[in-house]
């Protein structure tokens, strides 16, 4: 599996089924070149002008399964994480 293939997969928390995001980067151990953890960057605030939310770091040991289009992880959800799907203005206005 290449890095590009890994980045296309969704990261799903196994217990609740919450969508955590997509892999943005990997952290390696410089001694033996093994993957230490996955990095999921936080969502941009106000189109990135106000920075980003907290990034999520998932240890490689907490990756449970690789699927065709998703990674299942056993990491606990961060405090205050919104597990509901993102609602946009247009979806609320059109009541979709």
Task: Return the pLDDT at 81.
Answer: 56
CATH of 3-94, picked from 1.20.1250.20, 2.40.160.100, 2.30.30.240, 2.60.40.10, is 2.30.30.240
Residues 6-23, mean pLDDT to the nearest whole number: 87
Query: 55-66 pLDDT, tens per residue?
Result: 889 999 999 988
Identify whether the C-beta of residue 57 lies closer than 8 Å to the C-beta of residue 38: yes
CA–CA dist 4, 16 (Å, integer): 26
Q: What global pTM score does this model have? A: 0.70
DSSP secondary structure, 42-79, as one string: PPBSTTTTT-B---EEEEGGGEEEE-SSEEEE-PPPPT
Query: 32-62 pLDDT, tens per residue?
Result: 989 899 998 877 677 667 776 778 899 999 9
Task: Show me where the domains of the chain are located.
Answer: 3-94
CA–CA dist 89, 26 (Å, integer): 33
């Amino acid at each position: 599996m290449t890095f590009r293939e890994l980045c296309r997969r969704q990261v799903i928390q196994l217990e609740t089924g919450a969508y955590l995001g997509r892999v943005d980067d990997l952290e390696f151990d410089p001694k033996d070149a093994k993957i230490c953890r996955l990095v999921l960057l936080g969502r941009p605030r106000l189109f990135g002008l106000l920075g980003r939310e907290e990034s999520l770091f998932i240890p490689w040991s907490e990756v449970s399964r690789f699927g065709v289009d998703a990674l299942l992880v056993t990491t606990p959800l961060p405090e205050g994480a919104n597990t509901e799907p993102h609602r946009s203005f247009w979806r609320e206005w059109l009541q979709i």
